[in-house]
């Protein structure tokens, strides 16, 4: 009970801090916009998608993959910011000195990161759909479900590694180096499921992939929950 | 039996088996019908994965033990396992690429096994990079252990996710089942690489322990002085 | 300020609150602490003295369980800090870095700390705690706009919000003007009146000697003096001059 309150207090504190400083969000919004433009320049806005065939542009064809690349790269900013706030106030030791289970800290940080990530995605998805001319309206519920599951996997591992690297001098280098290999299953399943949502699910595979994604989330979440208290030691 | 002695025995046995395995594999085993002599790289390629598995498994178990006990012995084993595992992992990737070119026509393909082994190499390379960045022995041992634990648990997840991902595309079949006459050299080489891995790990642990103890001893002297 | 009943503070007879045995701590290749023994009993007022880098902060961090000692053992209320999780209720820490969040207001900071301590306090109680440190006017101001003196007050309010039995203060006089120093003195006096056990790390030797019963002096990570403050001056005569110089700076 006390631990649930602690986790909630941490979420509220993080969101309040973020709402006032907007340090992570501004950087993320700017970065996400740049990524969308860079994709467009790199792949050519009108280049036809050869594999797609049916009058799609390359950008439209690749959108599921591009979306997740943008989410992961942008999300890194939120993760490192999340623990930067703690370092500025005196490090993780403040949180560790409070009584109670340290899993509450993980839960709180994870939830706050997920919410910030979600806010960014709610902008990223429609903006990229508009920029690349993709019709998503009727696919929205399934898409949001897949995005939520993929983001959960990302945030679960990301929060863990951000805590682990928070007091390293080279944290900006080490976070992606350690995080991305572990995220491979998440990105594979998330991109696959998103593709099925967007391009249509001819063979009825979508549900299988959603379950695979959920299973991956569950395993990663369990491992990270069990080991988090050691990650914030020093 | 001390680890030192055990390591030495493993080393000598590995040497003998390597000689036997290589000689029979290169000279006695018949040419392969389709691949010709090229297939003989498998006498190094397959055993590499035995060494990789032994190394990473050691790193994983030792890391859990370190987190539980905080005994530096386990940190030394973790580091040794990761380094030896990575060495064999890279050997396996390179020999695989060399073998893949003449037989499949490409150096690399996104087969689940290839992808998983590459991710494994990146994970444990990250482990070693992290160690290099951290100076404080306690923090380094703790952080590295966590990276090894999460990274190792992730390996099967990567394998299955990539396998399911690729099922709609062509699945790269494994090379033909091995001819009985090639089995014995291969088994000898696999055992040889396993023993070689164990030998190298015991040496690496001894080295790490010497360094750690030297550091500790200096400290003890300093603490005892004045 | 007293949200909870005085249960913790009432029976501070002469029981051992903190016990460190042969504690050594290394950071990379440097030894911050070398075989330090420290035993603090309930109700004691101990000052930890020594120049910067002598290991005061490290010792405090080891005592709170934030850092593990390389060698040796620590007991807090009779148990190792890690297993005495519930007993952190009885521990208040004032760190040099404040542990405050700049984007939050003073009241929000205390509110967060209260929940994290596991207290169920209402806003008016928190305002009361703020008033106690003279910050009721600034309750709704963001902490990043605070002066260092105000931060120190708020940090002290945060550290003692849960009415802890043991309070560890790391450099309570750091970055304060004369008025602020006087205020901290009064606050510490109050804690003492309430029967709390206090460990104060500082290089303000004069203040510490006037305030505390017992002085523990560290040099290069080693305890060079442990005894009543009254005989401190004479005992560390060799070292005192340089220590004084540093205290004056």
Cβ within 8 Å of B, C 193-222 = 222
- β partners of residue A101: none
pLDDT average, residue stretch C87-115: 88
pLDDT at position C247 over 50 = no
Nearest-CA residue of chain B relative to C23? B223
For chain C, the average pLDDT equals 83
pLDDT of A51: 57
Q: Provide, as residue numbers in chain B, all residues whose Cβ is less than 8 Å from the Cβ of C34.
A: 222-223
Residue among C29, C31, C70 whose CB faces B138 most closely = C70
> A157 with A220: CB under 8 angstroms?
yes
pLDDT at position C242 over 70 = no
Q: How far apart are CA B192 and CA C213, in angstroms?
A: 69
pLDDT average, residue stretch B208-217: 83
The residue among B143, B220, B223 with the most chain C CBs within 10 A of its CB, best to mutate, is B223
pLDDT at position A8 over 90 = yes
Q: Which of A143-147, B31-35, C52-56 has the lowest mean pLDDT?
A: B31-35
Contact C27 B223 (CB under 8 A): no
The residue among B66, B70, B72, B138 with the most chain C CBs within 10 A of its CB, best to mutate, is B138
User: Which residues neighbour B130 within 8 Å (Cβ) at sequence distance 6 or greater?
Assistant: A174, A177, A178, B140, B143, B144, B147
For chain A, the average pLDDT equals 90
Contact A13 C104 (CB under 8 A): yes
Contact B219 C222 (CB under 8 A): no
pLDDT at position B175 over 80 = no
Distance (Å) from the C-alpha of residue B83 to the closest C-alpha of chain A? 16
pLDDT at position C9 over 60 = no
- The per-residue pLDDT for range C165-175, each reduced to its tens digit, is 999 999 898 87
Q: Where are the domains of chain A?
A: 2-231
Three-state secondary-structure class, residue C6: coil
| Distance, C-alpha A162 to centroid of its chain | 13
pLDDT of C240: 47
Percentage of chain A lying above the pLDDT 90 cut? 58
Residue among B136, B219, B226 whose CB faces C31 most closely = B219
Nearest-CA residue of chain C relative to B136? C28
- Order the strands of the C91-94 sheet from edge to edge: C91-94, C166-170, C197-201, C45-49, C214-219, C222-228
pLDDT at position B47 over 50 = yes
pLDDT at position C236 over 70 = no
User: What global pTM score does this model have?
Assistant: 0.89
Q: Where are the domains of chain C?
A: 5-77+165-248, 102-163
Q: Pick the closest to residue C61 from C89, C28, C36, C29 (CA basis).
A: C36
Q: Higher-confidence residue: A90 or A38?
A: A38
Contact C88 A98 (CB under 8 A): yes
> A223 with B149: CB under 8 angstroms?
yes
pLDDT at position B1 over 70 = no
As a three-state string, the secondary structure of A14-67 is: HHHHHHHHCHHHHHHHHHHHHHHHHHHHHHCCCCECCCCCCCCEHHHHHHHHHH
Q: Provide, as residue numbers in chain C, all residues whose Cβ is less than 8 Å from the Cβ of A26.
A: none
The residue among B133, B137, B141, B149 with the most chain A CBs within 10 A of its CB, best to mutate, is B133
Domains of chain B: 3-225 (1.20.120)
pLDDT of A222: 96
Q: Pick the closest to residue C30 from C239, C181, C230, C220 (CA basis).
A: C220
ipTM of this complex prediction, to 2 decimal places: 0.91
Domain C5-77+165-248 adopts which CATH fold?
Answer: Rossmann fold (3.40.50)
Q: Provide, as residue numbers in chain B, all residues whose Cβ is less than 8 Å from the Cβ of A164.
A: 143, 146-147
Distance (Å) from the C-alpha of residue B64 to the closest C-alpha of chain A? 10
A200 touches chain C (CB under 8 A): no
Q: Provide, as residue numbers in chain A, all residues whose Cβ is less than 8 Å from the Cβ of C113.
A: 98
The residue among B157, B158, B162, B163 with the most chain A CBs within 10 A of its CB, best to mutate, is B157
Percentage of chain B lying above the pLDDT 90 cut? 55
pLDDT of C12: 43
* DSSP letter for each residue of C55-70: SHHHHHHHHHTSS--S
């Amino acid at each position: 009970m006390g631990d649930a309150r602690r986790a909630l207090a941490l979420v509220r504190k993080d969101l309040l801090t973020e709402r006032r400083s907007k340090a992570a969000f501004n950087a993320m919004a700017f970065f996400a916009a740049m990524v969308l433009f860079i994709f467009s320049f790199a792949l050519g806005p009108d280049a036809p998608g050869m594999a797609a065939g049916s009058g799609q542009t390359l950008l439209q064809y690749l959108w599921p993959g591009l979306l997740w690349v943008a989410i992961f790269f942008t999300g890194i900013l939120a993760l490192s910011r999340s623990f930067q706030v703690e370092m500025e106030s005196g490090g993780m030791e403040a949180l560790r000195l409070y009584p109670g289970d340290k899993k509450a800290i993980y839960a709180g940080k994870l939830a706050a990161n997920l919410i910030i990530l979600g806010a960014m995605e709610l902008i990223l998805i429609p903006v990229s759909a508009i920029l690349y001319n993709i019709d998503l309206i009727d696919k929205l519920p399934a898409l949001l479900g897949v995005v939520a599951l993929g983001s959960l996997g990302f945030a679960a591992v990301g929060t863990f590694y951000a805590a682990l690297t928070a007091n390293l001098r080279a944290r900006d280098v080490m976070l992606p180096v350690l995080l991305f290999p572990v995220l491979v299953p998440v990105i594979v399943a998330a991109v696959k499921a998103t593709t099925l949502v967007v391009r249509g699910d001819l063979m009825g595979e979508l549900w299988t992939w959603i379950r695979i994604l959920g299973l991956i989330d569950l395993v990663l979440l369990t491992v990270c929950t069990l080991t988090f208290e050691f990650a914030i030691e020093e | 039996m001390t680890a030192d002695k055990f390591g030495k025995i493993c080393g000598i046995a590995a040497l003998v088996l390597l000689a036997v395995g290589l000689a029979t594999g290169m000279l006695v085993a018949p040419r392969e019908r389709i691949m010709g002599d090229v297939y003989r790289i498998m006498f190094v390629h397959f055993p590499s994965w035995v060494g990789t598995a032994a190394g990473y498994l050691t790193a994983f178990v030792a890391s859990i033990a370190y987190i539980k006990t905080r005994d530096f012995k386990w940190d030394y084993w973790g580091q040794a396992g990761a380094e030896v595992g990575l060495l064999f992992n890279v050997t396996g990737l390179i020999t695989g690429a060399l073998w893949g070119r003449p037989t499949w026509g490409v150096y690399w393909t996104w087969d689940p096994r290839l992808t998983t082994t590459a991710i494994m190499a990146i994970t444990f390379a990250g482990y070693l990079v992290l160690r290099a960045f951290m100076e404080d022995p306690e923090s380094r041992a703790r952080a590295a252990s966590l990276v090894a634990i999460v990274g190792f648990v992730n390996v099967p997840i990567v394998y299955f996710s990539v396998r399911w991902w690729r099922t709609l595309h062509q699945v790269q079949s494994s090379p033909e089942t091995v001819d009985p006459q090639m089995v014995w050299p291969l088994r000898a080489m696999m055992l040889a690489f396993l023993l070689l891995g164990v030998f190298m790990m015991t040496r690496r642990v001894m080295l790490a322990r010497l360094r750690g103890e030297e550091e500790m001893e200096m400290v003890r002297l300093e603490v005892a002085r004045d | 300020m007293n949200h909870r009943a005085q249960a913790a503070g009432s029976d501070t007879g002469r029981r051992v609150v903190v016990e460190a045995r042969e504690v050594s701590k290394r950071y990379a290749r440097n030894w911050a602490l070398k075989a330090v023994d420290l035993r603090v009993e309930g109700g004691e007022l101990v000052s930890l003295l020594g120049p910067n880098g002598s290991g005061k902060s490290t010792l405090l961090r080891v005592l709170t369980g934030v850092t593990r000692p390389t060698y040796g053992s620590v007991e807090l209320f009779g148990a190792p800090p890690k297993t005495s999780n519930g007993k952190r209720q009885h521990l208040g820490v004032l760190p040099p870095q404040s542990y405050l969040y700049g984007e939050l207001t003073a009241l929000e900071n205390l509110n967060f700390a209260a929940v994290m301590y596991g207290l169920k306090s209402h806003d008016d109680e928190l305002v009361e705690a703020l008033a106690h440190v003279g910050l009721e006017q600034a309750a709704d101001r963001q902490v990043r706009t605070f002066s260092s003196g105000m931060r120190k007050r708020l940090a002290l309010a945060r550290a003692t919000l849960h009415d802890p039995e043991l309070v560890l203060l790391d450099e309570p006089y750091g970055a304060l003007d004369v008025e602020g120093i006087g205020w901290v003195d009064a606050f510490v006096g109050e804690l003492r009146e309430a029967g709390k056990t206090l460990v104060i790390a500082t290089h303000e030797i004069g203040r510490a000697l006037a305030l505390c019963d017992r002085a523990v002096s560290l040099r290069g990570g080693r305890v060079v003096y442990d005894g009543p403050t009254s005989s401190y001056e004479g005992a560390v005569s060799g070292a005192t001059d340089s220590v004084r110089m540093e205290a004056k700076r």
